[in-house]
Structure 1
Amino acid sequence: MKYIVTTVVAAAMLAASSCSGTRNLANPRLDMPEAYVAGDTAAVDSQSIADISWWEFYADSTLTKIMRIALDNNRDILKAAARVEQARHLYGVAVAEMWPKVGVDVGYSYETNKYNGGELKKDPEHDLKLPITWEVNLWGSMIHAKDAGKARYAASVEDYRAMRMTVIAEVATAYFRLLSLENELEIVRRTLLTRQESLEQARLRFEGGLTSETVYQQAKVEYSTTASLVPALELQVAAMRNTLTTLMGEYPHEVFDRRNTLFGAEMPAGLPAGVPSDLLRRRPDLRAAEMRLKAAMADVGVSYADRFPSLRIGFTPGLENDGLKDFFKSPFTYTLAQITGPIFDFGRKKRKYQAMIAAYDQSRLDYEKAVIGAFTEVNTSIVAYNKYHDNYRVKVDLRDAAAKYVKLAWLQYRGGTLNYIDVLDAQRRYFEAQIGVSNALRDEYLALINLYKALGGGWS
């Protein structure tokens, strides 16, 4: 028996080594460009802002404090961590399947027989047995299953890292949107004070007979229009604060007492992005897609091996007797070597194997799509950051020009060479220009956050 089993195993291993169900699978076609195309020029730089740790990239101590709380309490991150634990244990199951199974069988049976009308025979039996079974990994099925479990476990780890990266970006986005809204609210309140002063002057001039009521009513319209903006902005500020607390995994509360970021600092014109091939190692979502591709390949190997016979070896030592008196003097052994496999299954296993190949091709195409999407995302983010930076400079020039326009309009109005409606128009343009600068700076901050995330920064 031992010789037969050894011969069968050796022959099976030789056959398995000469054929493979995954050998002819198509490899993913990446062919990534050597550089990003930022506008009309190709950007090549060995350095990347994604190499900077998120707590160094976001230098605001208040923001990093919020981020640390979010990384500890955010429910999406905790859920991703639970999926990692699930995948780790399932991988452990696949590893354990490669080892023999040892059981215990304690039992008592009582059988009576009376054949052909003869004497009634009683056959009691007491059992204490330890069955040991092992399915030999003939065609690599268990190794492929273990590899699939390992790849899915690795993919869950990368998904966890990708979730951390996403939450970091979402916190930063909410934070700078909040700063922008608070800055806009401050602009509106300053403008409202100016409108109030203008309204008071218009009232005094009207009551003194120096101007018509039309000028006074125009000043009232401008004041009320500006005042109507305050409640909506206050609501948006409160909502954005609540968004931050949600990302932190907490109920709404005061997010911070003070900040050390002044919303208005100008950012650099260009930032290093590295080379596209670095995305394959920097971005955890791409690494997760690669691991799922490896798992799909291993699944193909499992289905291929399932088409061939399986060998199961068993040995059961124990004790067996019809009574308990000499039970421990009644040794029992049972040896098994069993080869099982289908003769005719009408193509079931072959079709399952072909279905696994199709599933692998889907994973391969998903991986290729993810890589193309990542490159496109970075390319768009580079262009967006550069254009928003240019737009900010234009908005600043417009604001400065509008400020001078207001001063000149007041001087000419007081000199009697300009109508009051023109002064209001100048003030309105200056107000809109200030809001425009605030929004342009917000867009530049958000573009920077998107670029950092697209390059794979923020998960370490």
Structure 2
Amino acid sequence: MKRVTIYALSLGALLSSCNIYKQYNRPEVDVQGLYRDPVSVTDTLASDTTNMGNLPWEEVFTDPQLQQLIRLGLEQNSDLQTAVLKVKEAEAGLMSSRLAYLPSLGLSPQGTVSSFDKAKASQTYTLPVVSSWEIDLFGRLLNAKRGAKVMLLQSEAYKQAVQTQVISAIANAYYTLLMLDKQLAITEETALLWQKSVETMKAMKEAGMVNEAAIAQSEANSYMIAASIPDLKQSIRETENSLSLLLKQAPQRIERGKLEDQNLPTLLNAGVPVQLLSNRPDVKAAEMALASTFYNTNQARASFYPQLTINGTLGWTNNSGMGIVNPGKMIATAIGSLAQPIFNKGALTARLRIAKAQQEEAMINFEQSLLNAGSEVSNALTQYQTAQDKIIQREKQIFSLEKSVDYTQELLTLGTSTYLEVLTAQQSLLSAQLSGISDEFQRMQAVVNLYHALGGGRTE
């Protein structure tokens, strides 16, 4: 009767523990509508299987000097090097969890010298090899191994996320330098023109066409433009220093091309939202964190079941138990132990509850990472469309202001216009030209941001 009861209890434990052998499966997540259409009022973006994020970064960023900087960053960036080391740490953890299935071996030699009542000393020794082997009946080691594997996948996804971030950060810094270079060139050119304008004003004063106030005002505006040049140079120097840090090198001048020579993709395909699950490294890392908590919960469940361990000893000894014999004889023992937790003050129950709560937290983080990814894609698409619309109107504005400057200067020489109208037209033209450069940079930045948001720059 007792034997039947034991078999029944063992069978019940086995059946109730089936859940701890289950593998992680991705939960159902709704990815429809993650992307907003930047122009449609219905917010419905037509899906396209073509995904810009799948392009190699060399095909997106074609500037040879930028490509050289990106390659240098992928080799030297500190954050990326740290991420590579984290992958190696996770690989070591996975190897350790796999080796846990094997028995442990250890050499434990012992020697004793004893004497009673001044009698001749007796010497005993034992030279055993001790072994211990845990039999994984209820999946404790299995879930530990699976958990270590998803931790490795999570660290690899983190490395991919850092790599994607490094590429986009270098590209954004590079294009920022090109924008500042162009703004500096236009500002310096404008400063020279305004200096000539001051000389023209002085000549017109000699002819009695303008007064001292006009000369003073034109000089003040000339000095204002000249004063903005050091600020632009400072911004260029600081951006070069920031880019040097990304490349893990001392601050230095960055060799670069020109803004007008850049060729970036003009057809931006975001693909279908479900691709974010496999393309976005941070989303993948969040999912692997969820899988890790799933296996932690299984381990917590496995703690409620018996743990079977086999211990053995094999070696030589000259102690037979009845006396001391020489030479020594072989000794061998084997012990099987079954440990079943009965009362542990609720520690196992608390551990299981904590594991379940952490799994729910990881699920929330996974869902939020998807929403964040969709928001970033939508923002980049909107940024590109906004910059595109602004560029079209800005070109028309600059064209009109250039004509306005020419007309007012001609009218001033004819005496039918005032110097204030000329200065106003020149200031408006400079402002529009600088804004036009910013608009072009915004469009380029949108391409970089979209490429990053779609998980571009990863290595499979």
Q: Would you call these one fold, judging by a TM-score over 0.5? A: yes
Structure 2 counterpart SS, 1:36: coil
For the 8 Å contact 1:320–1:327, the answer to whether it is kept is no
Give 3-state SS (helix, strand or coil) of 2:344's partner. Answer: coil
Q: Which runs of 5+ in 1 are unaligned?
A: none
Q: Alpha-carbon deviation of 1:265?
A: 5.8
Amino-acid identity (%): 26
Q: Deviations over 1:133-162 (max 9, x none)?
A: 101101000000000111101110110011
User: In the alignment, what sits opposite 2:133?
Assistant: 134
Residue type at the aligned position of 2:386: K
Residue 21 of structure 1 deviates from its aligned partner by 4.3
Q: Deviations over 1:399-454 (max 9, x none)?
A: 11111111111122122211111011001110001001011111111111111100
Return the letter of the residue paired with 1:295.
S
Are 1:93 and 2:90 counterparts?
Answer: no
Q: Which residue of 2 aligns with 1:73?
A: 76
Q: Provide the rounded CA distance (Å) in 2 between the counterparts of 1:241 and 1:444.
A: 21
1:56 is matched with: 59
- Paired letter, 1:214: A
Given residue 56 of structure 1, which amino acid in structure 2 is its aligned partner?
E
Deviates more, 1:406-415 or 1:211-220: 406-415
Taking the aligned partners of 2:101 and 2:23, their CA distance within structure 1 comes to: 26
- 8 Å CA contact 2:306–2:340 kept in 1: the answer is yes
- Cα contact 2:319–2:325 (8 A) shared by 1: no
Amino acid at match of 1:338: S
Residues 178-327 of structure 1 aligned to structure 2 (within 5 Å): 178-256=177-255, 258-259=256-257, 261-263=258-260, 270-322=267-319
Q: What secondary structure does 2:251 align onto?
A: coil
Cα distance between partner residues in 2 of 1:132 and 1:164: 45
Residues 177 and 240 in structure 2, CA contact (< 8 A), matched pair in contact too: yes
Question: Does structure 1 conserve the Cα–Cα contact (< 8 Å) formed by 2:167 and 2:457?
Answer: yes
CA-based RMSD of the aligned residues comes to 2.7
Letter in 2 for 1:66: L
Q: 1:83 to 1:434 in 2, by over 3 A?
A: same
1:52 deviation in Å?
Answer: 1.1
**Offset of residue 175 of structure 1:** 0.5
The 3-state SS of whatever aligns with 1:345 is coil
Instruction: Report the Cα offset of residue 110 of structure 1.
Output: 3.6
Structure 2, unmatched stretches of 5+, are none
* Compared CA separation, residues 350 and 425, structure 1 to 2 (3 A): same
Q: Which residue pairs with 2:344 in the alignment?
A: 345
Distance 1:333 1:12, change over 3 A: farther
Alpha-carbon distance, 1:36 to partner? 2.5
* CA distance 1:86–1:265, shift in 2 (3 Å): closer
Helix, strand or coil: the match of 2:125?
strand
Q: Which amino acid aligns with 2:309?
A: R
Q: TM-score, normalization: structure 1?
A: 0.91
Distance 1:412 1:183 in 2: 31
Shift in Å, 1:69: 0.3
Q: How many residues align?
A: 447
Per the TM alignment, residue 179 of structure 1 is displaced from its structure 2 partner at its CA by 0.6
CA gap 1:77/1:364 in 2 versus in 1, 3 angstroms: same
Deviation digits for residues 281-309 of structure 1 (CA, Å, limit 9, x no counterpart): 11111111111111111111111111122
